[in-house]
Structure formats: structure tokens, C-alpha cells
Structure 1
Amino acid sequence: MSTGFDLRLAPTAAAVWAVTLLGLLVGWGAAAATAACALLAVPLVWPVSGNRAWARGALVVLLLAGVAAAGMAFRGHHAEHHPVREAAHHGERLTARVTLTSAPIPLRGASFGARRAQDRALVRAELETADLAGRRVRASGPVVLLVPTEQWCELIAGQRVTVRGKAAPPRSGELTIAALQVFGAPTEVAPPPGWQRAAADLRDGLRRTAAAELSPAAAGLLPGLVVGDTSALPPEVEQDFETAGLTHLMAVSGANLAIVCGAVLVVLHLVGAGPLLSALGAGAALVGFVVLAGPEPSVLRAAAMGAITLLALVLGRRRSALPVLSASVVGLLLLMPELATSAGFALSVAATAGLVVLAPAWAAALRARGVPVGVAEAIAVPLAAHVVTAPLVAALSGTVSLVAVPANLLAGPVVAPATVFGVLATVVAPVSGWLAGAFCWLAAPELEWLVLVADRAAAVPGGSFDWLPGTAGGLLLAGLVVVGLIALRGKRFRVLASVALLLAVLVLVPVRSAVSGWPAPGWSMVACDVGQGDGLVLATGRPEEAVVVDTGPDLERAAACLDRLGVRRIPLAVLTHLHADHISGLTGLLGRFAVGAVAVGPLREPAWAMREVLRDTRRHRVPVVPMQSGQRASWPGLVLDVLAPDPALTRTQTAEDANDASIVLLATTPAGRLLLTGDVELPAQGHLVAAGLDLRADVLKVPHHGSRYTTPRFLNAVRPRTALISVGDGNSYGHPSPFVMDMLTRGGAEVLRTDKEGDIAILPGPQGPRHISRGDPLRAVDR
């Protein structure tokens, strides 16, 4: 019985993908052997291909797989024996002339130590010449540059530059010749092609207009919807989109192109254009959008997927969509084989397949049951895309989202108008600023709705749960999805599944939150598990209010900890010093909680960190206040005495002394005296002891994540009952030091570590402070 779909090219696409992966992951030798086997098998199949359908399919598979494998063998051999690759294996320095194939992309991710990832950017380029050990090599090939963001941020794709850096081998699974570590500005910078410059000016015009007309969140989101530019998006909003499963809206995808080309088709239809003119207009829109966003691999991939989506959903030729999808996969892999290991490519292919296979059938089924046409498609499209991509997302992230489908259902109806208005604003900005502003104004309600949906979805308790990561987890979830889809064809099973889902939403999630034992009633302080950094929360004695001391190394973990504790207001956020592992979570708090003020010490170094703090606090109209020794702040259930730093000492300190310039706080709480020490090291500890201060405390937040730079004299002066070490699991610094832990244990302290315990709450007890770890209420210990 016919399925209604033409699957003949699907095995070919799968075979080409498989041999491409083989060449990337195993090597050019394996690809060459595969090519030889495939091409040698062609004469065996050829004689029967004339009258056997399976033989004709096998012949196509063998030919294209052989071609793909041969291409991989050639490319892999070229990359492996490239003279710059050989220099990279020895870590040689070189001077290279390259042509940029992408604009600089600031690195994202958790910050570390005194530096932040955003200080560096990644640039893809094509090598032209290289000077190696006094000899010039003329050999092309793709390279990756790791460059200082500030000195490269104005460059765009198409520019030729000269760079000097240190070569390193690329990551496995790539055809890149080498990665170049560059620490200076480029020289001999050539102007870009005119069309690249024009596209960059259009993108800049959109950013300027959006910033002038929209709120910060909406202004950052609009370029993301239109051209995938999230550089101006507030980090807390970006985190909300990721948690809610809406990140795909801010990446150039087939959906963007389908929306733009679909809008062009609608306009041409309304003016009475014929099929040929409509096709030409949609094609011109597609090409124009590719130029606007930049002809990078991800955009070209999106163009192919967008064309397929249009074919299936706009032109209504559902049966032809799968062959075109398969042919596009083959073509893209032959041209850009590194897409085979790209998660974005796999997600695009899966989502497009879901849109052309599942979405029309599900929408028709809903319409048959009386659901209005627009509503049926609004439900079927995000549901189909989520179902087919969920196994891949689970394999990559190790989580399964329960809020992604409803969030996409709520967001879906406004994405298309917001994108269209954004494209129109981009196009008219060079001609009329007023008209561009009007289009941004029309997009504003849709953008604010998207921000609201992401914010509310991200705040849902239990909105996602952990899953087995990697290939095994992806295959397991894929199997469950297939079984579920087959079972849902039965009416009785659909009723049972609906009841089970309703019970899970109404009963299991609330019960899970209620029995977790967290937050611990009456807590005085919580050391949040923020990874390799500090994030402390002190109860003020007022409902839903707490003081925060440091915010950890990333945007989400400190904010998530406060959410779990039910905190809504932060009268004071103290940044003990300006290292990234203590301040990088601040932006996540400013956008989500009511923050009264941010306190910093007298040393405003590193300078980049202070600029970042000032930028973020000004955006949210939060004052920055100075904090130094001798000050006191109090609330009904909390008193903070500032013991350090002494401003007289910080006058001679530099950015290298930031640890010793940490703010040191003595907190008086219902649970006892808590000494919070930031990252103070030997000199600062010596000053505290020499000053004759009463350092005795029931609980010590051990300095600098338990590093070796802690003196016995200081620990003897504190004599804590409980020692908290905020430290990241498996960190590369060797924290905490066994020597320091031994000193604490021999001094009678119970040592608690966030990498072992998770979030740790300190509570009042009958004989002093006690503690409890999140998720394990039975571990409460009285001291």
C-alpha cells in the first residue's frame, strides 16, 4: 500500500551522509577504501538495473556514495598533508594572508577565572599564503582564527587581512587546515566586496533603528529573528529562550526564508502575478535574504531547507518534498561535507522532514475533527517539528523539555509578522528612517509577546527533566517516540495518553516540588552550586527577599538557585571582586529580580569587568554603590559588617591583585556568625589577622574555592564549625587543596563542597548552625 511519499532518494541521502561522516571521523584512508568498494560494485549491479527497481536504487546509492567518499578522501588527504597542518602539529608561529568567510563571532559559554569567553571571537577564513620559518607557502584551505573581539569586531566577511599567530591542530571531525591563535589586530586590511558592505550596512541600520524604537529586549530580539544576529540581545532573555525551547527562532533557518518568500508569494498573488513571475519573485527574495544574512554554511543550509518548506507548505506539492529534501541533503554534503557533523544541519533536516511529512497529516486530522484551519496548522507545525527533533536535542543536551511545545504554540502565530516587519524595516532603513521606525513599531507587540512567552515558560517549575545524553539517549527517545506515534493511532490509547499527560501536569510536577525538601524552611544562608565560582544568598528576614554575594560564572545557575529559594527581591547584590567567576551571573539577576543596588569594592579592575557591570546596571537602572571596610548594612534578620578591603591598601593594587582586594563580610544571622571571604589570598588574610579583628565565625566560606593560598594562622583565627567550599566539579585548578581541607578537618570543621553536595543551606540549630543539601532532606545535620 502506498504511503503517499516518495522515499526513493532517502537511502541515497543516508548513504552519502554516512560516508561523509566516515571520512570526517575516521580519516581519508577509510573514505578512499569506501569509494573503491562502492565504485567496484557498480559493474555488478549495472546489468540488472534495467529491469529491477531495487537495482536502479542501489546503483544510484553506489554512484553517489562513491563520489562522496572519493571527494572526502581527496579533501581529507589535502588537509592532513597541508604544510600549515604540519606546522600546527608543532605549534609554530606564522604570518598568513586570509580572506574572511564569516564575521567575528564572540565566543559564548561560561567565563573562567579573571577572563571572560567574550574577550575572544571565532572567525572562519580561507588561507591564501603563509610564511613559515622564512619560506612562503601558497596553498589554500579553510582555517579558524581565534582573535581578540575588540580589535576585530568591525570586520565583515569578504575582507582580506594579514594575521600573525600560533598554529594549532583543528578539532577532529573537520576539514579545517589549522586553528590560529591571534592576539593582535589584523594588518593590511582590504575593503570587502561591495555587496558584502551593503549587506552589513543594512544589518547595522536594523540594529540602530531597533535600538531607537524598541525596548532593550525587543531591540535585541528583532535582528535575531531577521538575520540571526543576537549580539544586542540581553543575556537573561537569551537564556530564557534557550530554557523555553525557542532558541531556533533566533537562528537563520528554513523557517525564516519560508516566511519571507511566502510573504512575497502572497503579495504577488494579490496583484495577479502568474506562476512564473511568482516563482521568480520568491527566488529573488530567497537570494536577497541569503545576501542580507551572509552566505555562510548555516545560511546556505537554511536556504535549501526554506525552499523545501515552501514547496511542501506553500505550493502544496507534498509528495515531491521528500525527494527534494533528500537531493538537497546530498548536494549540501557534497559541497560542504563538514555539515555532516553539524547539529544545526541535523536539526534542520529533521525539522523539515517533520514539517513535510507529519505536519500536513496532523493538520488535516485536526481539521477533520472541527478545528479551524489556522488553529490546526498552528498546532501541527510546532508539534511535528518538536517531536522529530526531540531525540536529537536530548542526545545533545541531556534534557527533555516539557514546555517547548506549548511555548512554540504560543509563539508561533507572531513569528511571521514580526519577521516580515523586521525585513521591511531593514530594507527601507537606508531610504527612510521614519518608515523603518514605523515597521519596528508594528513589530513591537509581537516581539514583546515572544519575550513574555519565553520568560514565563522558562519560569515553569519542572519544565524540563534530565535524560540520558549522547547517542544512546537519542536512540532511546527516538524509539519511544516511534512507539508512541504508532500507539496513538488507536483511539483508546489516545484517551489513556491524554489522561496520563493531564495527571503528570496536575499532580506529578506539583508533588515533585512539594516533596523535594527544598527550600529548607528557616534558612539563613545558601551556597548555590554555580560551578567553579561563588554564589551566596543571605536571608534578610523579610519574605521573598535576600542579599546576594557574588553571582557565579554563567547567566543561569545563580538565577535558578534564587528561583528555587523563592526569592523575588534583592536589596543588595555584593560583588566581592571583578573576576568573571564571581560577576558573570549578574546580568541574569538584573533581568529577572528586583535588585536595589550593586556593591563593588574600591579596586575597579579588571577594567573590562567594571565596564560590563556599569553597562548592565545602567540598562536596568540599578545604582552601583561603593563598599569598603568599616561599613555596616542591616535588615530584620541580617547584619553585614564589612571587614575588608581597606581603601588605603587598594590604592597601590592593580588588576593582578583583584583577589586580595575582595570584599570580606561578617554576616550575623539567626544561624550564627558567617565569614564570607571572596578570593582573599595570603597577603589579605595576613592583613585581616594583623588588624586584630574578631574573625571568629560559626561558618567560613573558604577563600578562593579552597586554593592552597590559605594560611593556618588565618584558619586558626576563624575556628569555624562548618567550612563551605564553593567549587566546580572536575575543575582544572586543583581546587580544593587537600592541604587546606586537612587543616580545616584537623581544626574541627565539617567541610562541605558544592561540587559534592549541590546547593547547601545553613540553618539555625539548637546547638549552633546545621546544614541541609538540596534534594536530600535526610542529610540535615545538627552541630
Structure 2
Amino acid sequence: MPDVRALALGAGAWGGALLVLLLPGWWALGAVGSVVGGGILLVARDRSALGWLGPVAALAAVAGVATLQQAVVTTSPLTALAGEGAVVRLRLELTSDVRVVAGQYGDLQVVRARVLRVEGRGRAWTLDAPVVVMAEAAWPRLPLGTTLATTARLVESDDDVAALVRPTGPPEVLAEPDVWWDAAAAVRRAVRAAVAGRDADARELVPALVVGDDGGLDPDLADDFRTTGLTHLLAVSGTNLTLVVGSLLVLGRWLGVRGRWLHVVAAVGIAGFVLTARAEPSVVRAAAMGTVALVGMGSNGRSRGVRGLGVAVLVLLLVWPRLAVTAGFALSVLATGGILLLAPVWRDALMRWTPRWAAEAVSVPLAAQVACTPVVAALSGQVSLVAVGANLLAAPAVAPATVLGLAGGLLGLVWSPLGVLVAAPAAWSAGWIIHVARWGSAVPTAAVDWGVGPLPLALLTLLCLLSVPLAPRLLGRPGSTLACTGLLVVVMLVRPPTPGWPPAGWVLAMCDVGQGDGLVLRSGPRAGVVVDAGPDPVSIDACLDRLDVDEVPLVVLTHFHADHVDGLSGVLGGRTVGAVEATGVLEPASGVDAVTDALGTVPAPTAYGLTRHVGAVTLQTVWPRPGARADPAESAANNASVVLVAEVAGIRLLLTGDVEPSAQSALERDLAGLEVDVLKVPHHGSRHQDTDWLTSLGARVALVSVGEDNDYGHPAPDLLTALGAAGMRVWRTDLAGDVVIVAREDGVGVVTHR
């Protein structure tokens, strides 16, 4: 039985951080004081409870550090200046790589930094405060470790930083990155160069496996990794460090290194890994968990590993208390704990009738998955059924892909052809992992939806806890193990029906595809016309499956923005698809390229004024009208959206794409007196609307396809108020999930599914 006293230290530290970070000010102090006081009182009454002082002291220490760090941020001059929206002169050091994210008005460069000096409002301060820099796409992209000066506007932040920095001028480089950052950047470039000639997905996956550099990975492939429980391979994790440092130790032993010198080799390997992967809190956390795993592989490994885990949690939270509320930290700790505490017991049970290698291969991913399942479900709303199998299949390829990818990069620094040669098996191994991810995500029931509310998550946690004593009994007998495996396979291969879905008499489904549009008009039994495919193939594919649609006689892409077309492959896969049409305005080019790649050709333009019957659907194309002029200050792509008037089972619907006010005004003139039953609100409920026209349509139901917690402020509150005042009932995918319009005897009905 492992000594769990160190785990109690880690649990106390974690509890102290959570109390301070999740409870408001005085409530947090009161809770910490109550716990500490109760612990001291317990020990004073019963000396045998002396062991409780360790966890209580850890809780108090981490709570104190978290409180101090919060105070430093909230009392920083930057925080006060940000509250005033001040424009200041800053000296700062970049502490992360630049990430490019999509903003409301264009791409933004996002990078974390430390402010060393600030001048503003007639004063100057020397300090050390964390910030996030959000610069325009044209701002120079500078490497991690650069010290620079710039003029910027400070904006308040709800994050763990003192302010958001919005540069208003070009940066002035004051100091280049230190030599170790240059060396780390050279290794990262060399790893990429060693696999540059390989398949597009493999050449992106190898750097992700080696140093967590997943910036160029295909989003669809990343979704497949999430579905199959392989996401941990894309981020810097303890597995990366274990493989890299473990291979160094093996090499050191082969070269004759012994004793304490092996510890030096391990320390150098850990330091090099942290620098190459970037010395951010998440990387240091991964390194700590990987070190614990290495300790667990040695003699008396289980006991030493458990002690190391508790100490690692305590030390990490003393340095970075905010790790306590990050998903990566929770998943790392739980996975490591599951492997140390559960896997040995489950392995021993399996060894009663299987070889040791097979027992370990099954028990390790199974223990990690069970330990992490509640957290994964809370984050994704799903429970993966293929995760253990996918990890089992991918495991043999992870080590060669990681170790040989790194070796190829290092050797490539000396002689590039040698690096390419050594890294070739890494790319082949990465190809196998990609194949496993895609195969697993294509399984009919690769994952099951699970609620993220307190009751579903509590039930899931209880089931995982029950599996701890039950699993050894099941795994210890071949009959029960094979029966459970067979049942799981049947569940995965046979997609379970959704009771009562799709609802009888449905005519239109607005699929919950996130921040985008994905609409389906019912044209017949198991058939539907698709209008836009959303940003994500997985989401639109799942929605069509739920609707039992396996025939799509027509696809209309209203325009080529990613949130309307990037999911097209999810419509095409596994279905009979007829014509695919789109707007005649071929922009943006990236969207046109994505559609062309999926189809193999540019889609035909939808004919203006055409009225046609597609099964039970009557469609009339009413926009864009040839020769019509829209406001040049508005988005040309949005205003070129195909607008359709549809009728199904006597219900009239207006599907508006993303047309903006000037195009809406033109439609008002072209379609004078138009009345519909259902309005699909343009542009996800943007505040830029011709509200007079929208409210004149007489619709009873308004549909808003919008992503939860989106960055655009969609839908606009003023617009929702106006639609409601006009007698429309507004339904939103971010709140209701899939929204389905149903034909009823008394008119229009609405049914939702989440």
C-alpha cells in the first residue's frame, strides 16, 4: 500500500489555492482560517491526529501565496491605468510565443509578457507584472525572450494578468532573446525542417509530439484527436518528457554513464526539454508530472512516485497557484495519480490470465482514462468510448515519433540530410497515430454526449469511483473482461437512437454548430437540403445523423466565410449528395479554397430568381440580384450571401445568410410586402441590421445561429428586444442547442435538442 501522506500535502495545497481563487475576498480568508483553526484544534485535542498538520500547513501556505499574488496584480499601477484606459509607454519582455487568433475586425497577435517599466499620466514605475499583448496582424512578430519598448493603450482584464496591452505604435527592440532561447528556437526549427518533406499532417504532428508545437495542425485532425482521447499527444505533457529523458538515460547507460552522473543526465534533459518546449507554467507542470512518472519507473517506484506526485503538486502550486484552476493541471495530476495508484492493481488482475506486457498495455491507458473522465466530460460534454482502444493502438508509435523526431532535429543542426533520414521513421509513426485518430473518430458512437451540469457530472464521478474496486474483479476473469469488451464494441458500432428525435413533422433544423450557420430543410424521408455547413465538420455531421439524413439532394453555401463552409466535408462524408451551389462572389479566397478542396471543383453559382422544387421543399433565390450595389464600407462577402425564401409543409421561411443593412434594404425594396412564418436572423444576430425590415416580415419565430460565449457580442441585445417587441419568439443555438421548426395544425412549433 503506497504512503499517501504526500498526496494529502498536495490535496491540501490544491484546496488552499481553490479557496482563494474561487471564493470572493473575505469569504476565502474566512474559509482558510476556519480550516486552519479546525486543524489546530483537532491536533490539540488528539495528538494522534498530528499528521493533519502537514496538509493544513500546505493549504495555508498556498492560500497565502495565492492571496499575495492576487494583491500584487490588483494593486499594480498597470491595473489602475488599465481602468482608466490610459495610453502609456511600456518596457516589456515577451514570455511566450505569438499566437494568431481571429478577432472581430481581423486577425490579432496574442502574446504573454512581463512589464518591466511603465510611463504614463506624468509618472513612471519600475515593476514586474504579467500582461497579455494583443497586437494587430501587421505588428512585427518577435520571438520569445525579446525585450522591447512600445506605446500602447491599457485595457482591463478579467484574467490573471494586470492588463491587456493594445499597442498603438511599432515596437522598439531593446534586447534580443538570450542565447538559450535562441538555441531552443533553433531546435524547434530543426525538428520542423527534418520532417518538412513529409505528408502535411505528419509534418505538423511530429513537432507537436516532440515539443508541443501544434500551431499548424489541421483543426479537423485536432477534433479527431479530441474525440479519441488523444489530445494529450498534441500538448506538452508528462509523456513527452518521460520519453525524451528516458531515452537519454538509456543512451547514457549504453555509453557507460552510471550512478549520480545519470542524475546529471536526467537534469540536463529536463532543463533542455523545458527550454525547448517553452518555460511556461503549463510546460513546467508537464515536466514535473513527467519526472514523477520517471521516478515511478524505478525501484520501489509506486511508493516513490506517489510521494513525488504529492510534493510536485505542492511545489507547483506554491510557485503558480493559478494552475489549480486550469484543466491541464487537473488532467495531468489525475492521469499521473491514476497510473500510479490504479494501474498496478489492475495490471496484477489482468496478469492472472494475460502476459505482463499485455496487462500493462491495457491497464495504464485505462487507469488514466478513468481518472480523467469526469474532468474531460466537464470540458467537452462527452465521454469517449474509443479513448482506451485508441491510446492502446497509438502507444507503440508515440515513442519512435517523439524520440526520433527530436533526434532528427538535433542531428539536422549538424547535417541536414542526416536529420531528415533519422526523422523519417518519426513521420511514419506519426502517420499511424493520425490513422488511429481518424479511424476512432469515424466509429459510429466514438463518444456519447454527457451533460455538464452538477448532477450528470456527480453521477459520472460516482461511476468512476465505483470502477476502482470493481475493475480488478472484472479484469481478473477472462469471461467478464471479454464480455465487457464485447458490449463496448457493440455500443460503439451501433449508433443508439435518440428517443423522439427528429420530431415528427419537422421542416427545418438549425443545427448547433457553434459560431456559424448550418441549416437543414426536410425534403423527404431521410433527406434534406443543407444551407451552409458551419465551421466544423464533426458538428454538422452529428446533427445530420441525429436527423437521420443520409441523402442531401442540394447543398447551398450562402457565402465563403469559414463559419459557413468549413464543415462541408462533414456533409459530404457517408451521404449521397447531389448538387452543391454557392454565391457567385468568390471571396474570401481561403473559403473558396476550402470548398474546392472538399469538392474537387468550384461550386456552381446559384441562379438569381430561380424557383424550384427539391422534394418537399420549394426554394426561391432572391439575392444577390445582378447589378445590385451594397455599401462598400460593409463586408462584400456577407452582402453577396445567397438569400432564400423556402416553403415546406405550408411553412414559409426566410434564410438570410449574413447580409448586412444595405443588402437588407435592397431586399426590402425587391420583396415589398413579403411575409414569412420563420426568419433566420442575418449574421448571427449582429447589431448591424435593418431592423425596420426584419420586424416588418411578420414572422412568429426568429432563429439565431450563434456560438456560446463568442467574442463578437452576438446576438445584440437591442436587436433581440426589437424582434421580441415585433411579436417574434427568438430561439438561439447557444442556449437551446439544435432548434427544429415543426409543422403543426395550429401553425409553427419549435422543438429543441441539446
TM normalised by structure 2 equals 0.83
Of the structure 1 ranges 734-743 and 374-383, higher mean CA displacement relative to structure 2 is found in 734-743
Note closer, same or farther for the CA distance 1:243–1:693 as it changes in structure 2 (3 Å cut): same
SS in 1 for 2:143: coil
Aligned partners of 1:519, 1:429: CA distance in 2, in Å?
A: 60
Following TM superposition, by how much is the alpha carbon of 1:454 offset from its aligned partner in structure 2, in angstroms?
2.1
Question: Offset of 1:383 from its aligned partner?
Answer: 0.5
Q: What is the alpha-carbon distance in structure 2 between the residues aligned to residue 701 and residue 36 of structure 1?
A: 54
TM-align CA RMSD: 4.6
Aligned to 1:155: 142
Give how far 1:393 is off.
2.3
Code of the residue aligned with 2:149 in structure 1: it is T
- Which amino acid is 1:81 matched to? T
**How do residues 63-142 of structure 1 correspond to structure 2 at under 5 angstroms?**
64-107=58-101, 115=105, 119-142=107-130
Q: Is the 8 A contact 2:503 2:742 kept in 1?
A: no
Q: Would you say the 8 A contact 1:705–1:727 is kept in 2?
A: yes
Deviation at 1:732, TM superposition (A): 4.1
**1:179 aligned onto 2:164:** yes
* CA displacement at 1:394 relative to structure 2: 3.0
Against the structure 1 CA distance between its residues 471 and 258, is the aligned structure 2 distance closer, same or farther, given a 3 Å change threshold?
farther
Structure 2: how far apart are the matches of 1:40 and 1:678? 61
1:588-667 equivalences under 5 Å are: 601=583, 610-614=588-592, 616-617=594-595, 622-625=600-603, 627=605, 630=608, 637=615, 642-650=621-629, 653-656=632-635, 658-665=637-644
Which of 440, 446, 460 lines up with 2:443 in the alignment? 460
Which of 544, 554, 564 aligns to 1:562? It is 544
1:21 maps onto 2:18 in alignment: yes
- TM-superposed deviation, 1:670: 9.0
Question: Are the counterparts in 1 of residues 609 and 621 from structure 2 also a CA contact under 8 Å?
Answer: yes
Give the Cα separation in 2 of the matches to 1:678 and 1:574. 10
Aligned position for 2:711 = none
Q: In terms of mean alpha carbon deviation, does 219-228 or 142-151 score higher? A: 142-151
Q: Which amino acid aligns with 2:146?
A: Q
How far does the alpha carbon of each residue in 1:101-149 deviate from its partner, in whole angstroms, 9 at most, with x for none? 1112344xxx78x657xx2343221110011212111121222223335
Which residue of 2 is the match for residue 779 of structure 1? none
Amino acid at match of 1:561: C
Please, which of 415, 421, 443 is the counterpart of residue 426 of structure 2? 443
Deviations 1:391-440, CA, capped at 9 Å, x for gaps: 22234444333232222222222212221222122222333333333344
SS state at 1:103 partner:
coil
Residue number in structure 2 paired with 1:780: none
Cα distance in 1 between the residues matched to 2:746 and 2:397: 56
Looking at structure 2, the residues matched to 177 and 34 of structure 1 have their Cα atoms a distance apart, in angstroms, of: 26
Query: 2 CA distance for matches of 1:760 and 1:265?
Result: 57
Counterpart pick for 2:705 among 716, 723, 727: 727
Work out the CA distance in 2 between the residues paired with 1:159 and 1:684.
47
Give 1:304 deviation, angstroms: 1.2
Inter-partner Cα distance in structure 2 for 1:484 and 1:658: 53
Q: C-alpha displacement at 1:624, in angstroms?
A: 3.6
Partner of 1:407: 390
Distance (whole Å) between structure 2 residues aligned to residue 761 and residue 61 of structure 1: 53
Structure 2 residue identity aligned to 1:101: T
Say if 2:195 is the partner of 1:210.
yes
Shift of 1:266: 3.0
Measured after TM superposition, the shift of residue 288 of structure 1 is 1.9
Q: CA–CA distance in 1 between the matches of 2:194 and 2:573?
A: 23
1:226 Cα deviation (Å)? 1.4
Distance 1:735 1:365, change over 3 A: farther
User: d(CA) in 2 for partners of 1:204 and 1:6?
Assistant: 44
Taking structure 1 as reference, are residues 256 and 665 closer, same or farther at Cα in structure 2, changes over 3 Å only? same
1:159 Cα deviation from its structure 2 partner: 0.8
Change over 3 Å in CA distance of 1:683–1:439 after alignment to 2: same
Amino acid at match of 2:314: V
Shift of 1:486: 2.0
Q: Give the letter aligned to residue 99 of structure 1.
A: E
Q: Choose which of 322, 326, 332 in structure 2 pairs with 1:338.
A: 322
Instruction: Give the whole-Å Cα distance in 2 for the aligned partners of 1:21 and 1:6.
Output: 24
CA displacement at 1:236 relative to structure 2? 0.8
Q: Which moved more, 1:178-187 or 1:11-20?
A: 178-187
Distance 1:440 1:547, change over 3 A: farther
Query: Is 1:190 aligned to residue 175 of structure 2?
Result: yes
More displaced, 162-171 or 563-572? 563-572
Offset at residue 276 of structure 1 (A) = 3.9
Query: What is the distance in 2 between the residues matched to 1:248 and 1:121?
Result: 25
After TM superposition, the structure 1 stretch with the greater mean CA deviation from structure 2, 481-490 or 78-87, is: 481-490
Give the counterpart of 1:469 among 438, 445, 452: 452
SS at match of 1:368: coil
Correspondence for 1:677 among 656, 666, 689? 656
Q: In structure 2, what is the equivalent of residue 238 of structure 1?
A: 222
Pick from 485, 491, 496: which aligns with 1:512? 496
Trace 1:221-232 onto structure 2 (pairs within 5 A): 221-232=205-216
Change (3 A) 1:769 1:414: farther
Please say if residues 446 and 492 of structure 2, whose CA atoms lie closer than 8 Å, have aligned partners that are also in contact. Answer: no
**1:482 and 2:460 matched:** no
Q: Percent identity?
A: 35
CA distance in 1, matches of 2:748, 2:24: 57
- Residues 649 and 433 of structure 1, relative CA distance in 2, 3 Å threshold: farther
Determine if contact 2:739/2:753 at 8 Å carries over to the other structure: no
Following TM superposition, by how much is the alpha carbon of 1:306 offset from its aligned partner in structure 2, in angstroms? 0.8
Is the CA contact 2:350–2:475 (under 8 Å) kept in the aligned structure 1? Answer: no
Distance of aligned partners of 1:78 and 1:335 in 2 relative to their CA distance in 1, 3 Å threshold: same
Instruction: Name the CA shift for 1:136/1:580 in 2 (closer, same or farther; >3 Å).
Output: farther
| Cα shift readout 1:148-169 (whole Å, capped 9, x = no counterpart) | 35535x3222111224333344
Instruction: Give the alignment of 1:674-713 within 5 angstroms.
Output: 675-681=654-660, 683-688=662-667, 690-691=669-670, 701=680, 703-704=682-683, 709=689
2:717 partner letter: G
Aligned length: 746
> How much has 1:213 moved relative to structure 2?
1.4
Moved more, 253-262 or 353-362: 353-362
Amino acid at match of 1:120: L
Deviation at 1:613, TM superposition (A): 1.5
Once residues 574 and 403 of structure 1 are traced to their aligned partners in structure 2, the CA distance between those partners, rounded to angstroms, is 34
How far does residue 386 in structure 1 lie from its aligned partner after superposition?
0.8
Moved more, 354-363 or 727-736: 727-736
In structure 1, C-alpha distance between the alignment counterparts of 2:537 and 2:425, rounded to whole Å? 31
How many angstroms does 1:10 deviate by?
2.3
Residues 12, 64 of structure 1: 8 Å contact kept? yes
The one-letter amino acid of 1:92's match is A
Distance 1:120 1:697 in 2: 40
Match of 2:355 in 1: 372
State how 1:297-336 maps to structure 2 within 5 Å.
297-313=281-297, 317-336=301-320
Q: 1:63 to 1:91 in 2, by over 3 A?
A: same
Amino acid at match of 1:79: V
SS at match of 1:649: coil
How far off is 1:727 after superposition? Answer: 3.3
Q: Structure 1 unaligned runs (5+)?
A: 777-783
Using the TM superposition, name which of 695-704 and 265-274 deviates more: 695-704
After TM superposition, give the deviation of residue 61 of structure 1 in Å: 4.4
Give the Å deviation of 1:525: 5.6
Which letter maps to 1:11? Answer: A
The superposition leaves residues 52-78 of structure 1 with CA deviations (integer Å, 9 ceiling, x where unpaired) of 7853x4554455555444444443333
SS of match in other structure, 1:98? strand
